[in-house]
Chain A
Amino acid sequence: MGRYVIRRLLQMIPVFVGATLLIFLMVNVMGDPVAGLCGDRACDPATAARLKAEFGLDQPVWKQYLTYMGNVLSGDFGTAFNGQKVTELMGTAFPVTIRLTLVAILFEIVIGIALGVVTGLRRGRPVDTGVLVATLVVISVPTFVTGLLLQLLLGVEWGWIDPSVSSEATFGELVVPGLVLASVSLAYVTRLTRTSIAENRRSDYVRTAVAKGLPRRRVISRHLLRNSLIPVVTFIGTDVGALMGGAIVTERIFNIHGVGYQLYQGILRQNTQTVVGFVTVLVLVFLVANLVVDLLYAVLDPRIRYA
C-alpha cells in the first residue's frame, strides 16, 4: 500500500509539471501581463519596461516558470496585480467552492445512486425508461441554460430561493447552485449505476445471496451495490476536479464568489498570477482525487490489494 502510494505520487510529478507548464504557457499567450496594471490606458513604454523588470517578465518563459514554481513550492503564490496576495484570494474563494462542490457531490451520491439502483433493478419498466429519458434531457441541455431557468423559476417567479448567493455562501444558499452544478454528472451517475447494477444483478453471487434466503434489502445493499459501485466511485472521484474547475458557469449565474469567479475575473483582467495560482491548486486537487479513488477500490473490493 505504502509503496503503491509512493509510486503514484511519483507518477503525478510529470503530470503536475506538464499541466502547470501548459497553463503557464497559455496564460503567457494571453497577452501583455502588465497591460492590466495601467488600467484602460496603454502603459507608456518606460513604465512598462520597468514593471516588466520588476515582475521578472523580461526573463525567458522557462525561467519565469521555474521561478514561479519555486515560489509556489515554498507557499508563495505571488501577488495579484491589485496588490492582494493570491493566497488571500484563495483563502476566501476556496471554502465557498468547496462547499458548492460538496453539495454537488452529495446530490450525485444520494440522488444519482438511488435513481441508478431503482432503474437498474427495474430495467425496461416505465420507471427506467422515464428516468433514462430524463437523464438524456439533462445531459443535452447546457448547464448554463439549466441554471438560468432554475434561477428564473425558483428564484424570481416562485421566490423559493434567493436568485443570487450572498458573500457568506452558506450551505442552504448553495443547494440550488449545487444541483445545477451537479446536474449533468448526476444524470451520468444515474446511468452508470443503472448499467452496473443491471449487469451485476445476474451474477452468481447475487443468486447465491438470494438462495441463502437473505432479505432483498440486504442482498441489494451488501452484495449488489457494493460490487456495482466501483465505476461510480471512479467517476465521482474524477468529477471532483472537474466540478471545482467547472463551477465557473454556475458561479457566474448565481453570483457566487468562489474559485470560478476569481478565475473569470483574473482572466478578464489579465491577472496572470491569480489564474496560474488557482489552476495549479485545481490540478493538484484533481490529481489527489484520482489517487484517493484508486485507494478506495481496495475498500470497496477487498480482493483488490496494493502490495
Chain B
Amino acid sequence: MPDVRRTNPGPDPESGDRRPGEHPPGDRPPGEHPPGDRPRGDWPDGGPDAEDGAVAGTGFGGSMDLATNEGRTLEDDPGPDGGGPSGRPRSLWSDAWRDLRRNPVFLVSALLILFLALIAMWPSLLTSGDPLDCDLALAQEGSRPGHPFGFNGQGCDVYTRTVYGARTSVTVGVCATLGVALLGGVLGALAGFFGGLWDALLSRLTDVFFAIPVVLGGLVLLSVVTSNSVWPVIGFMVLLGWPQISRISRGSVITAKQHDYVQAARALGASGPRMLLRHIAPNAIAPVIVVATIALGTYIALEATLSYLGVGLKPPTVSWGIDISSASPYIRNAPHMLLWPAGALAVTVLAFIMLGDAVRDALDPKLR
C-alpha cells in the first residue's frame, strides 16, 4: 500500500508545536517519530497516543475510545495527492458525499436516524396513546391486540413508552453532542492554533479529565441533583465529554496549520481569526464530526446507564434508560418490558456508530 502520508514531508506537525522541554530531541515517546524516521509506515487506527504526556485513552471506556481512534486516522495528512481516483480536483466533501450516496450502511443508518428524529418530534405519528396513561390491573401483561409490546410494571403500554422515549434519548444525545462539539471543538482549535502556554494548560486539563472514570463522575455529580429534567444529565456529559473532542480538534488543527495554503494566507497578511475560520476550520472539522457522531450514540447509552444506576433521568420523564432500569428487577417474569426499550436503544446507538463509521470511511482517503 502506498504510504500516502509520507508524500508531504514538511515539518512534523506534532513536534512543531511541542511545549518546550517536554520531550527533548532524541527522547521521543513512541508515536512522534520525525518524518522519514518512522519505524513503520502508518500507525493503524489508534496509533500510540503518547502525544499528550501522562495519559492516553478517554476514560469513557471502549466505545468512546473507538470514536477517538476512528477520528484520529482522519487527522493524519493525506498529502496533496492523497489518492483520488482521477486527477480532477474535487473537494473532500463532495468526494465523500459521492461515496456515501452509494454506501448501503450509510443509507440504512441515515434512514434510521431520520425515522428516529421524526418520532422524536412527533411521537403521535406512531401511537395515539399517552405514555403516562397506565392501568395497574394490566401490570406486566404480555402483548395483545392494540398493545403489541405488552405492558410494563405500572401497567403502561410499553409500545407507547418506547415511542415517546425516543424524544428524551435523542434530546440528550443531540444536546450533549452539540455542547461537547462546540466547547471541545473551539477550545481544542484555539489551543492547536495558538499553541504555547494555553495549549500546555489545556492538554494537562484534558489529562485530568481522562483520569476520572466517567460513570463514577456521573454518580458523584448527579447524585445530588433532584431536578427531573434532562439538563443536569446533559450538563454532566458536556463537562466530562469535551476534553475528548478538544484533543481531536487540537490535533486536527495542528495538522491543517502546516498546509501551504495556510502559510500562503499568513504571508498575504490574513488575520488570525480569518486564517482559523476560513482556511483551517473547514479542513480540520472532519474528524470532529466523525467522533461527535459516534459519541452521540455513546451518550445515549450513557444516559441509560446513569438512569439504570438511579442518578440519570427520573420518572415521570419517559426514557428508554428509565424503562430498562425499572424493568430490570422483573426481567425473569416479564422480559418483554426490558427487551423492547433495550432493543430500541441498541438500534439507535448502532445507527449512530454506523453512520460515523461510514462517514469516516468516506472521508478517509487511505481507503480509496
Contacts and interface: CB of A to CB of B under 8 A. Distances in A.
B208 A230 contact: no
Interface stretch (B96-104, B115-123, B154-162, B348-356): B348-356
Contacts of B55: 15, 238, 286-287, 290
A30 B213 contact: no
A244 B59 CA distance: 11
A148 interface: yes
Of A137, A200, A244, A245, which is in contact with the most chain B CB atoms at under 10 Å from its CB?
Answer: A245
Contacts of B308: 142, 144, 249
B136 interface: no
Nearest to A244: B213
Nearest to B23: A7
Given A19-B212, A230-B48, A11 B305 contact: no
Contacts of B58: 238
Interface string A134-148: 001101111111001
A4 B22 CA distance: 11
A196 to B, nearest CB: 4
Given A18-B205, A19-B211, A139 B63 contact: yes
Interface stretch (A73-81, A83-91, A211-219, A296-304): A296-304
Given A139-B353, A152-B332, A235 B46 contact: yes
B54 A287 contact: yes
Interface string A166-198: 000000000000000000111110011001100
Interface stretch (A39-47, A58-66, A261-269): A261-269
B285 interface: no
Q: How large is the interface on A (under 10, 10 to 19, 20 to 34, 35 or more residues)?
A: 35 or more
B205 A242 contact: no
Contacts of B47: 230-231
Contacts of A139: 62-63, 66, 349-350, 353
Interface in A258-286: 263-264, 267-268, 275, 279, 282-283, 286
Interface of B: 1, 26-27, 29-30, 39-50, 53-63, 65-66, 69, 204-205, 207-209, 211-217, 219-221, 223-224, 297, 301, 304-305, 308-309, 324, 328, 331-332, 335, 338, 342, 345-347, 349-350, 353-354
5 contacts: A19-B208, A137-B346, A192-B69, A234-B49, A238-B55
